[in-house]
């Protein structure tokens, strides 16, 4: 179920934009709703926030809500979710020439972290929580690593031009564990990222307020 609202004169990614579309997609009652907010500044770029669990079908919604983007970026806050949807969102991000960011003291883990890697540039704060673990399938209530799924992750990362070290980092933690990325060591494992500072919090907070209060 999707709801779309039109809004005028919003600020996103540090720029004043003329139109914002909010799409709230509730895929399963047991999962937090994934909320995708897309702002279109006059320069043709897109400023997007993706909040909540990644569910199957969100990749299609993401594609629909980012038509003809010429640059821009995606701000993530998500604990992860559906692997294939996350990989496809990352592919779309790269195809559309979008950058990615994780807010300060915010989590982007599992499928979200893989989508974040799709950015043409990747931004993070020192306290951004970006985590990776091995792909798995649920088997009788237990998480069991999937060789096929991890092969898909490896192929995705390789297609993004990332290193073997990155593939190992992204797939080596057990399903119930997490490899947390920290900025000082990111480059050592082949992940180029730009460090955001306190000076960047203003536009992050502005984007958050737009997303959290869409009817204001």
**Count of alpha carbons within 13 Å of 94, Cβ hemisphere only?**
16
68: pLDDT strictly greater than 70:
yes
Question: Residue 52 has which token pair?
Answer: 């909540």
23: pLDDT strictly greater than 80:
no
Q: Which residue has the tokens 């594609």?
A: 63
pLDDT of residue 71: 87
pLDDT of residue 30: 26
Question: Residue 196 has which token pair?
Answer: 């955001």
pLDDT of residue 210: 66
Between the two ends of the chain, the Cα-to-Cα distance in Å is 22
Domain coverage including residue 42: 2-212
Question: Residue 50 has which token pair?
Answer: 């993706």
| Higher-scoring residue by pLDDT: 40, 197 | 197
pLDDT of residue 85: 96
| Higher-scoring residue by pLDDT: 158, 136 | 158
Question: Residue 108 has which token pair?
Answer: 């982007």
Quickly state the pLDDT bin for 46 (edges 50, 70, 90). confident
Q: How many other β-carbons are positioned within 10 Å of the β-carbon of residue 90?
A: 26
Cα–Cα distance measured from residue 180 to residue 189, given in angstroms and rounded to the nearest whole number: 12
pLDDT of residue 29: 21
User: pTM score > 0.85 for this model?
Assistant: no
pLDDT of residue 50: 95
42: pLDDT strictly greater than 90:
no
The count of structural domains within the chain is 1
CATH number of the domain bearing residue 201 = 3.90.226.10
pLDDT of residue 28: 22
Give SS3 for 108: strand
Question: Residue 119 has which token pair?
Answer: 């950015």
Query: In whole numbers, what is the pLDDT of the chain averaged over residues?
Result: 82
Q: Which of 45-49, 75-79, 179-183 has the least mean pLDDT?
A: 45-49
């Amino acid at each position: 179920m999707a709801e779309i609202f039109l809004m005028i004169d919003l600020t996103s990614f540090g720029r004043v934009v003329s139109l914002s579309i909010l799409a709230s997609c509730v895929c399963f009652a047991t999962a937090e709703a994934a909320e995708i907010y897309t702002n279109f500044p006059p320069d043709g770029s897109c400023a997007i926030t993706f909040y909540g669990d990644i569910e199957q079908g969100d990749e299609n919604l993401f594609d629909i809500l980012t038509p003809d983007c010429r640059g821009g970026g995606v701000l993530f806050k998500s604990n992860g979710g559906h692997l294939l949807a996350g990989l496809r969102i990352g592919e779309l991000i790269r195809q559309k020439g979008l950058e990615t960011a994780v807010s300060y003291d915010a989590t982007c883990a599992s499928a979200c972290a893989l989508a974040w890697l799709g950015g043409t540039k990747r931004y993070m704060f020192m306290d951004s929580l970006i985590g990776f673990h091995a792909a798995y399938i649920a088997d009788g209530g237990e998480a069991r690593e999937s060789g096929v799924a991890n092969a898909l992750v490896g192929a995705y990362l390789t297609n993004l031009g990332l290193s073997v070290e990155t593939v190992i980092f992204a797939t080596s933690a057990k399903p119930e564990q997490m490899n947390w990325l920290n900025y000082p060591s990111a480059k050592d494992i082949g992940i180029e990222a730009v460090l955001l500072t306190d000076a960047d919090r203003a536009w992050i907070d502005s984007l958050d307020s737009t997303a959290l209060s869409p009817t204001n």
